[in-house]
Each structure stands twice: as C-alpha cells, then as structure tokens.
C-alpha cells in the first residue's frame, strides 16, 4: 500500500487507492476492506458515519486518505482511520458477477476473463505467476545464462508437427514475407544459433500451437522456458539444470507467496500441499530415471486398460505418463532414450541396437504428465545431413547445417511449459485457469 508523509513512529498519513472487498455501515462507523492487488490481505478502513456513501459497494474503486495505525484487533496488525473517502469508480453489486463473501469456482470465473482478476483466487494466481516468472529469470541470471529474445514470427517449424498458425496481413492480396511465415512453436532453433557464441542461453516467451483441442491440458498460446547449453555430451547436464531450475523457482515462490499458495492449497486444490512436499523432497534428493524401454515394460506389465497402445515405438500419451508417475510413487520421473523415429531431426542419434533410440529426455510430474522435454542435439555434420536428406529438409535447413560446419560444439537443451509448471505447483487441473487470457480452439475472448 502507498504510504505518504511519515508523521511518527506509530502512525502514518496514508493515501490508499484500491477496490472495496467488503463494506459494512454501523450507526457510528463505516468499515471497509480495501485491496490494491499487492497482497491477498485487504486493509481495514474505519470511517465516521458522515463519510458513508451509497456508492461504497463491493467492487467499487476508491481513494482513501487518513492515518495508518496499529489496530486494536488481534486479527489485523494495522487499520486506516479515514479522513476522506472518494469513490473513483462505481460498481453495481447486483450486476457484478462475483458476490461478496461467496467462494466462486475456477470454472465459473473462467466465464469472465475480463473480470476474474478481481477474485481472490485469480489475483493470487497472477501474483504467483509474476513471482515464478521473476524466479526463473533470476535462476538463469545467477547461473551464467544469457537471455535471448527469440522471434515470435518465424519461417521454421521446430517441432515438425505441422500445428502452425500462418502469419499474413489481413485483407492482403500478396504475401508479406518472401517465404511462408508462422507464429513460433519453439525458440529452440534460434537458441541453437546463439549457442554457437554463448555457452549458456535461454528464452522465456509465448509459443503457439494450432492444435484443434479443448482439453484441460492444451492451449493455442502459452509460455515456454527454453534453455540451450553448449559443450555438453551428457544427459545429466540437462536433467541437473531442469531439477535446479524447478527447485530454485519453487522455493522462491513458496517463500514469497505464502498466503497466495496457501489459499490454493486450502480452498481451491485441498490436499495438494502434501503431494507437493513429497515432490520437492524427491527433487532435493534427485528424481528417478528410467529409459523409455523400461517405461514400456512397466506399461506392458500393468493391468491398467489404456485407451492408446503402449507398445515399443509408440509415443507416450498423457495417460501413460500419469501412470508411470503413479507407479513410481507419485514422484518426478525422467524418461530417457526415446525411439529415434519419434523425435525431431535435431535429436542426437544414439546409434544403438535394433531398438534405435535418440538421446532425448522428458520430465514427468504428478498430476500433469510431461513438464519438460529436451535432448542432446545432433552435432555430427554427416549424421545430421543424412537425417535431413531422409526427411527432405536439407534445403530448408541449410542454415542449420552451417551451425555444424562453422565451430560447432556438442550441445543440448530443453523446454518447460510454464503453465504446466504452475499447474504442478498449485494442483490446478485445467490449464486455462493458470493463464490470464486463455486462447484455445474456438475461443479467443477479448
């Protein structure tokens, strides 16, 4: 809250600007709870009955000046004795979709993307999201990574899945760019270019998937944390950064957002606190590691009836990932060495036996499934060229071959879905409830 003009050691002249969370008028006094968004807790305002105004309703924006002093009540350390109250913005509590002292579910408030930040749950989520963003940037800065602003508009399809939004000017008769351009699905390839000059780089920004899905785990626009590390030939180097980043960010959020996280764990996702504590204890000790082949063996021996096949060579689906996590004790699990044909052209060829694998890794976590995915990159020019020729991509990715021709070093990297990280942290089931304005198939409100 904004403090102006210190007057003494026990009280301050204060100007408070915020929104009314509750209003109660008595014969002698008016009691307001006003919140400015800086914390979950509101500040109690005590005013004489002469300052009462019929426009002082739940949701109205106000400006209050007075003396901030110690409160005689045990439940609140401070209160504001108001000298003046001015209603800046009216709010009709009848039409306002959220009601005072009523706990609204995430699914209900999702109907009002322009207003849901006014609720306790979603304002807490946004403060947590802000702190988590800051914590991730701090981790990379403290560990010698250089931040790269990778482009949102790109001419390549990093994932190779074809789920791309094409970019063209509205109503244009001709193409704006000289080549087809798309909204990025990943900043990885641009990070690989900069990894030729910096040993450690990262990016943190929006990515896009034109996937026709309205499931609880997919968005058309979401945020990705991606890192690339040069001079490494070890999967352990990648998994260590994944673990360290997760641990550092989570410890920061839990320390800085105690009340906000507690609100979720008590009222929105009760019981998740215990799961998170188990999760963090294993991250501190180092997560479990199994190969894809071992994962398939676990799935094959299971009595579970899966909707999708789990034979060797099949991609692991969410149901498989969640089962593997549960089978391993609801702790984080790294799955390594995926079938070579399942992975994009840049994944390093293990050149192993009949079960041909790539040096790729996914981090699976409780409640979410895949949280991080990464690989060692194919740095051997001849192997990479043969792979691109096989896929008919040699001309389109000639620049990528140049990265190997001119001073290449073994390197690898990974991406973390930021919204999935927040789901894991808070236990939120639907990914649409951890992003301010969700975009998904057939829905782009605002």
Question: How far apart are the C-alpha atoms of 125 and 130, rounded to whole Å?
Answer: 9
* Mean pLDDT calculated for residue range 137-156: 96
Give the pLDDT confidence score for residue 97 in this predicted structure: 96
pTM over cut 0.85: yes
Give the pLDDT confidence score for residue 400 in this predicted structure: 95
Residue 274 has pLDDT above 90, yes or no: no
pLDDT tens-digit map of 83-120: 999 999 999 999 999 998 888 999 999 999 999 999 99
* Mean pLDDT calculated for residue range 147-157: 93
* Mean pLDDT calculated for residue range 122-146: 98
* CA distance to 191, 259, 398, per residue, from 377 (Å): 12, 42, 16
Collapse the DSSP code of 256 into the 3-class scheme (helix H, G, I; strand E, B; otherwise coil) and give the result: helix
pLDDT tens-digit map of 156-211: 876 655 689 999 998 887 889 988 899 999 999 999 999 999 999 999 999 999 98
Question: How far apart are the C-alpha atoms of 248 and 252, rounded to whole Å?
Answer: 6
Alpha helices in 54-186 (DSSP H): 106-109, 120-142
Residue 4 has pLDDT above 70, yes or no: no
Strand partners of residue 86: 63
CB 38 within 8 A of CB 3: no
* Mean pLDDT calculated for residue range 270-276: 83
Give the pLDDT confidence score for residue 5 in this predicted structure: 39
Which residue reads 């008919």 in tokens? Answer: 392
Give the pLDDT confidence score for residue 442 in this predicted structure: 87
Question: How far apart are the C-alpha atoms of 224 and 310, rounded to whole Å?
Answer: 28
β-pairing, 288-291 vs 333-339, is parallel
Give the pLDDT confidence score for residue 122 in this predicted structure: 96
* CA distance to 231, 283, 284, 371, per residue, from 234 (Å): 9, 19, 20, 20
* Mean pLDDT calculated for residue range 250-270: 93
CA 445 to chain centre: 20
CB 153 within 8 A of CB 167: yes
Reported as a pLDDT band with limits 50, 70 and 90, residue 285 is low
Q: Which residues contact 130 (CB under 8 A, 6 or more apart)?
A: none
Give the pLDDT confidence score for residue 159 in this predicted structure: 60
Q: Which residue has the higher pLDDT, 343 or 215?
A: 343
> What share of the chain has pLDDT > 90, as a percent?
78
Which residue reads 């800085």 in tokens? Answer: 256
* CA distance to 229, 294, 324, 357, per residue, from 334 (Å): 18, 11, 10, 16
**Listed residue (42, 78, 76, 77) closest to 62, CA to CA:** 42
Question: How far apart are the C-alpha atoms of 142 and 136, rounded to whole Å?
Answer: 10
Question: How far apart are the C-alpha atoms of 363 and 244, rounded to whole Å?
Answer: 13
Residue 7 has pLDDT above 50, yes or no: no
Give the pLDDT confidence score for residue 162 in this predicted structure: 62
Question: How far apart are the C-alpha atoms of 102 and 96, rounded to whole Å?
Answer: 13
φ, ψ of residue 69 to 5 degrees: the values are -145, 170
Task: Provide the mean pLDDT of the chain.
Answer: 91
Structural domains in the chain, CATH included, are: 3-101 (2.40.50.140), 116-433 (3.30.930.10)
CB 32 within 8 A of CB 58: no
* Mean pLDDT calculated for residue range 352-377: 93
CB 65 within 8 A of CB 83: yes
Reported as a pLDDT band with limits 50, 70 and 90, residue 237 is very high
Residue 154 has pLDDT above 80, yes or no: yes
Reported as a pLDDT band with limits 50, 70 and 90, residue 72 is confident
Query: What are the b/e assignments for 203-217, b being 16+ CB within 10 Å?
Result: bbbebbbeeeeeeeb
* Mean pLDDT calculated for residue range 127-143: 98
């Amino acid at each position: 809250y904004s403090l102006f003009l210190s007057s003494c050691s026990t009280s301050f002249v204060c100007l408070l600007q915020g929104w009314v969370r509750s209003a109660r008028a008595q014969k002698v006094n008016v009691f307001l709870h006003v919140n400015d968004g800086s914390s979950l807790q509101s500040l109690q305002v005590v005013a004489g009955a002469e300052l009462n105004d019929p426009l002082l309703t739940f949701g109205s924006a106000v400006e209050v000046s007075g003396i901030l002093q110690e409160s005689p009540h045990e439940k609140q350390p401070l209160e504001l004795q108001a000298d003046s109250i001015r209603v800046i913005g009216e709010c009709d509590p009848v039409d306002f979709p959220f009601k005072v002292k009523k706990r609204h579910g995430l699914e209900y408030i999702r109907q009002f993307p322009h207003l849901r930040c006014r609720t306790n749950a979603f304002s807490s989520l946004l403060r947590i999201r802000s702190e988590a963003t800051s914590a991730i940037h701090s981790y990379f800065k403290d560990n010698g990574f250089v931040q790269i602003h990778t482009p949102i508009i790109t001419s390549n399809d990093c994932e190779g899945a074809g789920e791309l939004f094409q970019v063209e000017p509205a109503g244009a008769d001709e193409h704006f760019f000289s080549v087809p351009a798309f909204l990025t699905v990943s900043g990885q390839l641009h990070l690989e270019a900069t990894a030729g000059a910096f040993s450690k780089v990262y990016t943190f920004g929006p990515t896009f998937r034109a996937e026709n899905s309205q499931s609880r785990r997919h968005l058309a626009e979401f945020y990705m944390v991606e890192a690339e590390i040069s001079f490494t030939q070890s999967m352990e180097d990648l998994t260590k950064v994944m673990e360290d980043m997760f641990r550092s960010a989570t410890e920061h959020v839990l320390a800085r957002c105690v009340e906000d996280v507690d609100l979720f764990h008590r009222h929105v996702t009760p019981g998740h606190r215990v799961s998170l504590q188990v999760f963090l204890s294993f991250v501190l000790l180092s997560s479990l590691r199994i190969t894809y082949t071992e994962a398939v063996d676990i799935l094959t021996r299971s009595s579970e009836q899966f909707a999708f096949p789990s034979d060797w060579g099949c991609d692991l689906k969410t149901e498989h990932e969640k089962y593997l996590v549960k089978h391993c004790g609801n702790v984080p699990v790294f799955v390594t060495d995926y079938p070579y044909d399942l992975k994009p052209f840049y994944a390093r060829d293990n050149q192993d036996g009949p079960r041909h694998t790539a040096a790729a890794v996914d981090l699976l976590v409780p409640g979410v499934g895949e949280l991080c995915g990464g690989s060692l990159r194919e740095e051997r020019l001849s192997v990479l060229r043969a792979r691109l020729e096989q896929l008919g991509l040699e001309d389109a990715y000639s620049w990528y071959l140049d990265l190997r021709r001119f001073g290449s070093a073994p390197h690898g990297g990974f991406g973390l879905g930021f919204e999935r990280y927040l789901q894991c942290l808070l236990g939120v089931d639907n990914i649409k409830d951890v992003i301010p304005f969700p975009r998904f198939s057939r829905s782009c409100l605002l």
